Amino acid sequence: MMNDAINSIPRDIFESEHNMFRDSVRKFLQAEAVPHHDAWEKQGQVDKSIWTKAGEQGFLAPSVPEAYGGLDLDFRFNAIVNEEVNRLCLSGLGWGLHSDIAVPYVVHYGREEQKQKYLPKTVTGETVMAIAMTEPGAGSDLQGIKTTAILDGDHYVVNGSKTFITNGQLSDLIIVVAKTDPGEGAKGISLFLVESDREGFARGKNLEKLGLKAQDTSELFFNDVRIPKENLLGEEGQGFTYLMNELPQERLSVSVGCLANAESILEQTVEYVKGRNAFGKPIAKLQNTQFKLAEINTQLTAARVFIDRCIELQLKGKLDVATAAKSKLLATEVQHLVLDECLQLHGGYGFMWEYPVARAYADARVKRIYAGSNEIMKLIISRAMLKD
């Protein structure tokens, strides 16, 4: 468990059942993921079998209602899986994107037939989900997407390309953000469920990245992909509204993982400086080391209190867009600060890939970019402050 001196504020949002669940998740990851992670990094993606194994344990999409094969649990269980994955620097698994971000769209906006058809297998891990928003020419600006879905009889015809798609190689079901009315801006955006075996769909290469090396991240191509009208998710033209509604949980999910990872690396760093000698004594005895640890621990503790409060708000359905943006901005910046200082305290060893701090540092860099860049977070926060 986390060193009490590092995480000194009691986390009252969790109860005994959550602690039991956390222990199960941690033991599972230690047995089924940690021993294989080096190999997964080399091959650029995890083995599909880890998904079905996790599904058997109830670790995927725990919030799916029981009627569709889920456990109908609240977001705290999602957060626990997210935290344990990130404590062990296993964020390449892609479960957070699946469980916290993609699956909820089907739960919240899917028709009854869609829920019955798709949700049970998202819980078992037989169906891996992805969401295709980002395009080569449109990153955080979702209104700038070019992918289209034009109605032709009883089918929509999808054309376009997406990039930086998490679970891009392993995904079986993809939520595609496309324009059904290209002339209407945000009002012309709709969401579609596209199965990966559709004719005209193709995956690009597994992208080589700075970090998250075990995470399959891909380009996706849609060339006259015909999907039945029944694959429209929710109502036509409401896609942008749905995206805005779901972004607070997406950004909170990122925040949760960032802090768990930073806490874990800080704890490891404390142990490292106790055993590393310089000038005839452990560097933990040097005032600079002590001051740096105190500074980053204080900021991490403050961020933890805020993020836990955001989890409480999410459980009550009260996490607004601006507060979620604050959580993402704060957590990613604090994680960056903590990891940078921890790597420095490791000296040359911190630059070696075999040390978790090096992996964590590389993996964390994208957190200030995806789920909306931190510059976008600042715009969201400032607009909420300045609106009349």
Residues acting as catalytic residues: 250
Characterize the bridge pairing of strands 173-179 and 129-132: parallel
List, in sequence order, the alpha helices (H) in 88-222: 95-96, 103-109, 112-124
Cβ atoms 159, 227 nearer than 8 A: no
Beta bridge partners of 194: 174
Tokens representing 294 are 């105190």
Cβ atoms 265, 356 nearer than 8 A: yes
Beta bridge partners of 152: 155
Distance (Å, rounded) from C-alpha 47 to C-alpha 50?
6
What are the distances in angstroms from CA 25 to CA 85, 281, 325? 9, 38, 28
Closest to 283 measured CA to CA, from 350, 368, 376, 208? 350
Q: First vs last Cα of the chain: how many Å apart?
A: 47
